[in-house]
Amino acid sequence: MNDVSNNNLKFIDLFCGIGGFHQALHKLNCKCVYACDTNKDCRDVYENNYKIRPDIDITKVKPENIPDFDILCGGFPCQSFSNAGKKKSFDDKRGKLFDHIIKIAKSKKPKFMFLENVKHILKIDNGTVFQYIINNVKAAGYYINYSDDPYNTIFQLSPHQFGIPQQRERVIFVCIRNDIYDKKNTIKMSIPQVPINLNRILETDRNITKRYKISKEIEKVLNCWNEMIQKIHTNQKMSPTILCDEFQNTYTDDEFKLLPKWKQHYITRNKTIYNKYKIHWDTWYAKYKDLLSKRKIYNQLEWQAGKKKENDSIYNYFIQIRQSGIRVKRTKYFPTLVAIVQTPIYGKEKRYITPRECARLQAFPDDFILHTNDKIAYKQLGNAINVDVIHKVMKETLKAYKFI
C-alpha cells in the first residue's frame, strides 16, 4: 500500500541494480523517469518488474538528455570501499562513478539526492573519501551535514533496527538543494522498536526448500565437525578460527616467522583447545583426514556462536562455507548478505537460504520477480539496498519538507 494518495515527484535511479530505491519511492507514489545500470541481468530484472529498460553506462549519458526530475537516488558502487572488496577507494574506477552523480546534479538540479554506501566509507583513507563526497555535494549546491545535532542529514542504519533479522549497516546521504533547505524542517529519524522475527523471513513450503539442500559432501563435512563438537565441554570457548590441519605440524622458529601473521596468531591460540582435547582431536582427525583434505577450507572452523552450550550442535546455527573456512553464527540474525556468493546455510534444515528469503531480508515484496538463475539472484540481492531502510529515510525527508 502506498503512503500517499497524490504526489507528482519524479525520480531517476542511478546504479539501479534491481530497484531497491524504486521500491521505496513507488510506495511514496513517486514516478521513475530514468534508470541506469551497467549489468544486463539487473537491467532485465528491472524491466521485468517496472517496465522500464535502464540505460547502460552513466559515463556516456548527457545530463541534458535525462528527463527533468525531482529526486536523484543512487547506491553508487561500493566494492571500492567495502570490506568484501579491496578498499581501493578512488584508485578503483568504480570509486570515481560518484563524480557522474555530481555532474548530473549540477546540470539538472533536483530537489533532493538520496545516496547510499557501506559504513566503511566514513573512515577509508582517514576520512578523505567521505570528505570528498561532502565537499562535492556542497559544491553542487546542496545542504548536507554529518553531526549529532538536529540538522544531521547523513544516517547510518541497518535492517535489524526495523525488525528484519539482518545486521547490515549502510550510510545514507540526504542532500537537500540549498534554495529549499530550511533548518526548521529537521528530519526526525525515530527508529521503531520492532521485535526481531526469523519466521517472517523463512520459507515454509517444503516443496521449495528441498531444492536448496546442501550437497552430500558438505553434509558429511558438517557431520564430521559436529561429531567433534560433541566432545567439547559445555561453556568451552571455541574461538578464534580452529585450524585442525595445523595441530600436528611442527615449525622451527624461523619457519614459524615466515607464516602469515594471522596464521601465527591462530596456531598459537589453538594450542589451548588442542592440548585440552588432544586424544579426541587426534582420533577424530585420523578418522576424517581424507574428507577434510578435499578442500583446505574444510579444515577450518570459525565458531562465532559463543561458548559451547549444553547439547549443542553445529546445526543449531547459520553456517557459511567461506574462503576463510566454515563459519558458524548465532541465529538471532541471518548472516549479512553480500554480492560475493557465500549463501548462508540454515542449519536446522541443512539447506541454503532461498533467493526469496534473501529478497525478504532486503524487504522486497513476495511478488517481486527474481532472476531465474539463483546464483545471479543471490548476487543481485547481496548488492541491493534494503527497501525498508531507505523508505524510512525518504519518507521522513519528504514529510519534513511537506511533499507528503
Domain of 93? 10-193+385-400
Query: Would you say residue 364 lies in a domain?
Result: no
Question: 55: helix, coil or strand?
Answer: strand
Q: How far apart are CA 84 and CA 86, in angstroms?
A: 7
Query: What is the reported pLDDT for 218?
Result: 97
CA distance 237 to 385: 35
Give all strands (DSSP E) within 38-86, no chain letters: 71-74
For the whole model, what pTM was predicted?
0.91
Same domain? For 332 and 224 the reply is yes
Active site residues: 78
How many domains is the chain partitioned into structurally?
A: 2
Alpha-helix runs per DSSP H in 237-383: 253-258, 261-276, 278-292, 355-361, 374-383
Write down how long the chain is: 404
Residues 183 and 229 in one domain: no
Indicate whether 373 belongs to any domain: no
Which pLDDT belongs to residue 75? 92
Determine the Cα–Cα distance for residues 87 and 5; give it in Å rounded to an integer. 43
Whether residue 332 sits in one domain with residue 261: yes
Q: Residue 7's pLDDT is what? A: 58
The enclosing H or E element of 134 equals helix 128-139
Question: How many whole angstroms separate alpha carbon 315 and alpha carbon 295?
Answer: 21
Q: Consecutive sets of 10 residues in the chain, 404 residues long: mean pLDDT of each?
A: 60 98 97 97 98 95 95 80 47 69 97 95 89 95 92 95 94 97 92 86 96 97 98 92 94 96 95 96 97 96 95 96 93 87 92 97 98 96 96 96 92
Nearest alpha carbon to residue 296 among 321, 320, 260: 321
- Within this chain, do residues 254 and 159 fall inside the same structural domain, yes or no? no
Is 264 found in the same domain as 220? yes
Residue 143 neighbours by CB distance under 10 Å:
18
Cβ neighbours of 127 (radius 10 Å): 12
What is the pLDDT, as a whole number, of residue 88? 52
- Considering the domain boundaries, does residue 188 fall inside one? yes
Closest CA to 287 of 228, 246, 216: 228
Distance (Å, rounded) from C-alpha 259 to C-alpha 244? 16
**211 and 183 both lie in a single domain:** no
C-alpha cell of residue 209: 526448500
Within a domain: 16: yes
Considering the domain architecture, whether residues 335 and 228 belong to the same structural domain is answered as: yes
- Report the number of secondary-structure helices (H) and strands (E) in the chain: 12, 13
Other CB atoms within 10 Å distance of the CB of residue 323: 9
One domain for residues 176 and 253: no
* Grid cell digits, residue 374: 539463483
Residue 240 covered by a domain = yes
